[in-house]
Amino acid sequence: MDKIIIQGGKRLSGTIPISGAKNSALTLLPCALLTDEPLTLRNLPRLADIDGFQHLLNQFGISTTIAGSRPEDFGRVMTLEAPRITSSIAPYELVRKMRASILVLGPMLARMGEATVSLPGGCAIGNRPIDLHLKALEAMGATIELAAGYVRAIAPDGGLPGGRYAFPVVSVGATENAVMAAVLCTGKTVLHNAAREPEIVDLCKLLVAMGAQIEGIGTSDLTIHGVPRLHGATYRVMSDRIEAGSYACAAAITGGEVFLKHAVADEMDATLQALRDAGVGVEPHSDGIKVWCDGPMKAVTLSTAPYPGFATDMQAQLMAMLCLAEGSSVLTETIFENRYMHVPELNRMGAHIETKGRTAVVHGVKKLTGAEVMATDLRASMSLVIAGLAAEGETQVHRLYHLDRGYERLEEKLALVGAAIERVGGD
């Protein structure tokens, strides 16, 4: 199994190109189920999760062609075409590795009138039930059946009529599934307390480009007027705000200066404010964000929260950066209950982090020391890489399949800005 080896202590300097957003791409891909015309997605990141979702869509009879796949390119162009759906079942063997697979439920139900999807897998970062997905679809008129590890959703004859649903808590995935189902309803759907993440906005913009009628984009109240059919479109995937934030933390912990090309400051206000609070320099530009750190970092106190709050997907990376800040930082995880699995690995590298329930106290230390560490989930993996970039000596990060799910050609991008990092085959 591959591993990444990092010789720490190198100051990062230069430009890092930010890829298309994984969390957005995984929502845009199933939109191909909503039309019989071609859907072309540009700036699609090269990731294991994208490949997995492509295979899942192929299972339904969707053809996929890829352009722009030269080795030197970051991102690629994929055209998906589904003139005829040949299966409405998403089997366990394809769904179990990736939680985002549940996002085929809404569009498949809307187009075919029924869908059967295995309960999803993904990172082991806590209990993430899909009950809100199902309740939203029921509010639109679907009948839901659960049996043998599968969800079966059935629309009435004539299609989903639409309806009104208020999410009891903000849920990104459930909002996405509900919106994709609602666009082909025979009537109007109103969603209250909907998620407002930039990735939701990206989804709505694509659906509008395909002919959907959506009001309230970017707010917590969405009104979707169902249309009889959607047409094809060509659309560029938004830049990955989590990837950009991750590399910003890497630059800061090494006392470096990097330009995050294609990053959009307006989509990551909470992350940039956390960096500024820690004493990191941040300068937005029209085509990216400049980040630098030329002095000691300061401790911060913050909690994760739904957008526009501080993203849970940035918690581990910020924690790694704060290991070398002056004072004690307090981080509270409000989204997932099991998202501190990276803490023991950071402590193996000389960090001083204490956890109690959903709170972690990061006591700043003078230095980190390289060690062999094991990735436990996607963002935890990146936190270990960030720590390794600043640690004295050599760090080896194992279980790279987590990293490969969410960071496009990570070692290449870090090498561009001076990191001593390589991927090697394991035993």
Residues 78 and 160 in one domain: yes
* d(C-alpha 358, C-alpha 335), whole Å: 9
Q: What is the CATH number of the domain that holds 62?
A: 3.65.10.10
Backbone angles phi, psi at 112, to 5 degrees: -100, -15
Q: Is 335 annotated as a binding residue?
A: yes
Whether residue 323 lies in the annotated active site: no
Residues present in the chain in total? 427
| Cis peptide bond prior to 308, omega within 30° of 0 | yes
**What stretch of H or E contains 396?**
strand 394-398
Radius of gyration (C-alpha) of the chain in whole angstroms = 21
Quote the domain boundaries for residue 104.
24-236
- Say what the pLDDT of residue 70 is: 61
Active-site pick, 31, 123, 204, 323: 123
Strand order of the β-sheet with 143-147 is 89-90, 114-118, 150-154, 143-147
Q: How many CA atoms lie within 13 A of 90 on its CB side?
A: 38
Boundary-marking domain end, from 236, 264, 287: 236
- Say what the pLDDT of residue 287 is: 96
Boundary-marking domain end, from 236, 265, 291: 236
- Say what the pLDDT of residue 427 is: 56
Q: Is 89 annotated as a binding residue?
A: no
Helix (H, G, I), strand (E, B) or coil at 134: helix
Q: How many structural domains are present in the chain?
A: 2
Q: Is 22 annotated as a binding residue?
A: yes
Report pLDDT digits (tens) over 391-412: 999 999 999 988 998 999 999 9
Residues 280 and 355 in one domain: yes
Q: pTM of the entire structure?
A: 0.95
Blockwise average pLDDT, block size 10, the chain, 427 residues: 95 97 97 98 94 92 84 81 93 79 95 90 52 95 91 95 97 97 98 98 98 98 98 98 98 98 97 98 98 97 96 96 98 86 96 96 98 92 97 96 92 97 84
Residues 90 and 218 in one domain: yes
* d(C-alpha 367, C-alpha 18), whole Å: 29
Q: Are residues 241 and 20 in contact, defined by beta-carbon separation less than 8 angstroms?
A: no
Q: Is 229 annotated as a binding residue?
A: no
Give one DSSP letter per residue of 317-380, joined into a string.
HHHHHHTTSBSEEEEE--S-SS--TTHHHHHHTT-EEEEETTEEEEE--S--B--EEE--SHHH
- Say what the pLDDT of residue 125 is: 33
* d(C-alpha 388, C-alpha 423), whole Å: 14
Report pLDDT digits (tens) over 212-239: 999 999 999 999 999 999 999 999 999 9
